[in-house]
Structure 1
Amino acid sequence: MLNILYEDEAILVVWKPVGMESQSARGFQADMVSEIRRYLSTKNREDNHNLSTKSTEPYVGVIHRLDKPVSGVMVYAKEKKAAAALSKQVSEGKMHKKYLTVLCGKPVDNVEKYVDYLLKDEKENVSRIVDMGIKGGKRAELICRALETKEIPPYGQLTLAEIELLTGRHHQIRVQMSGHGMPIWGDNRYNPEFSQRQPAEPGTRIPRRALRTDVALAAFELTFTHPVTGKQLTFRQNPSGGIFRQFGAFPS
């Protein structure tokens, strides 16, 4: 069932769960576009008070994306004009996202700014940090704010952190934090050591399922300008599952 944070005639703001594609998926995999389209179709039939009425397939405009293992707040457009206006905000850097993550390790300072150059390998669908000037390398910037650090056996020192993206690159947060020695908990792609760890011992309150499937990264805040009213909107929701349960210092 969709977790709807806001809806009007032009847009729909939802919480994307872990494990679901943010755009149309191949085959029979679940994806947000299909779920939203199904919801809108049902809603339209109910609004018409006639379940037998056939209508055109609802429009669902994809504005931005989140990786499949990442949860978070997302906005979708219900009409083409709204989609164009929101997409323009993305391209102009006027749509802002903040993330919460759990890092393996602890930043040297409570607030750190990281500037790197990332190169995407299209064939392998991964990115890596390269030297400035390397062909294809794109500048990547983010700000990391440490919120809480705890010693959690058997993982050692873990840090709940808020990440503010200043650029939007492929797998940016996952690549940069790994490159700076603080890979994200649960990220088997950029934290290869994690996949070799043993499941948590009973009594640690860390779900075994989370060890295998959850990447501790969530887009908890999204700010943009409404495409029709021009009003600035901010939506927030803190993650509550997996390793996030071990922390309490979430932004208020």
Structure 2
Amino acid sequence: MDIKIIFEDKDILVVEKPPKIPCQGDKTSDDDLMSILDRPYLGLVHRLDRPVGGVMVYAKTEKANSFLSKEISARNLYKEYLVVVCGKPLETQGELRNHLKKLRTINMSKVVDDKTHGSKEAILQYSVLDTIDTEEYGALTLLKIILKTGRHHQIRVQLSHAGFPIWGDNKYNKTFVKKKEWTQISLWAYKIGFKHPNAKEYMSFTSLPYKEFPWNKFHINN
């Protein structure tokens, strides 16, 4: 499989992760992105859910891996997503703050009280970019998401809890949970920004979603 290389030097590798491919090897033993890229050393700096596509950065040295991991811990890694949701938020922009608890046995997360043991705060900001009306699904809205924290299934569970679940999400969107056929979730890692681990200059990279429904119903460009 050919993987789109967005940028590469001796310290980092920035690629476009295709949907449905895991970031690293898992219990399924399916082909994973790290194995396909096949570099002498690759450090997993951050993750994308298996169904999600978009821009990812890997570290090519242990030093770069350590630096970028510390940047993530300090919330200095900028992550922006595009998402198509069912319905339309009441406000054109806003912030969602919830506490999430991971349900390991079913590989899901849920919104819980902030005093719940094992819960973690989840923060994201959203902006409405466009809304269209469809015959089958009603209103569909294109959102820009700026992720402030990196929790398990964070965008998916927070948007669902807020009343505008992601189109195609067969875990958190009740419309698609009921569907027998598989659907591709319309969540895409659009932009990533960070300080280069060696040069220390700020860099950002983008990736656009594939031209398929529902993305092709919206005008999306860099």
TM-score, normalised with respect to structure 1: 0.83
Do residues 124 (structure 1) and 106 (structure 2) align?
yes
Structure with greater strand share of residues? 2
Between Structure 1 and Structure 2, whose CA radius of gyration is higher? 1
What residue identity is the alignment partner of 1:187? D
Structure 1 CA distance for aligned equivalents of residues 81 and 221 of structure 2: 11
DSSP 3-state at the match of 2:163: coil
User: Which 4+ runs in 1 deviate beyond 4 A?
Assistant: none
| 1:3-38 deviation per Cα after TM superposition (whole angstroms, max 9, x unaligned) | 00000111110000100001123454121100111x
Residue 197 of structure 1 deviates from its aligned partner by 5.0
**How much does 1:187 deviate?**
0.3
**Where does residue 65 of structure 1 map in the other structure?**
47
1:228 corresponds in structure 2 to 198
Mapped partners of 1:168, 1:143: distance in 2: 13
How many angstroms does 1:124 deviate by? 1.5
Q: 1:136-175 counterparts in 2 under 5 A?
A: 136-175=118-157
| Greater percentage in helix | 1
Distance 2:117 2:177 in 1: 32
Select the residue among 95, 113, 118 that pairs with 2:95.
Answer: 113
CA distance in 1: counterparts of 2:114 and 2:47, whole angstroms? 26
**Stretch moving more, 25-34 or 103-112:** 25-34
- Specify the alignment match of 1:245 in structure 2: 216
**Distance in 2 separating the partners of 1:29 and 1:68:** 11
The two structures, once aligned, show a CA RMSD in angstroms of 1.5
1:86 to 68, 80, 94: 68
Deviations 1:69-103 (A, max 9, x none): 00111001111111111111111111110000000
State the distance in 2 between where 1:28 and 1:245 align: 32
SS of alignment partner, residue 164 of structure 1 = strand
* Unaligned segments of structure 2, at least 5 residues: none
Identity %: 41
Q: How does 1:11-90 map to 2 (within 5 A)?
A: 11-37=12-38, 40=39, 58-90=40-72
One-letter identity of the residue aligned with 2:218: F
Of 186, 198, 213, the residue aligned with 1:216 is: 186
Alignment correspondent of 1:52: none
Deviation at 1:130, TM superposition (A): 0.9
Deviates more, 1:17-26 or 1:155-164: 17-26
Displacement of 1:153 in angstroms is 1.9
Measured against aligned partners, the alpha-carbon deviations of 1:156-198 in whole angstroms (never above 9, x if no partner) come to 1000000011111110000000001100000000113224359
Equivalenced residue count is: 220
The question of 1:181 aligning with 2:152 is answered no
Q: Secondary structure at the match of 2:106?
A: coil
For 1:30 and 1:148, locate their aligned partners in 2 and report how far apart those are by CA, in whole Å: 36
Q: How many angstroms does 1:122 deviate by?
A: 1.6
Q: 1:197 to 1:121 in 2, by over 3 A?
A: closer
TM-score by length of 2: 0.94
3-state DSSP of counterpart to 1:59: coil
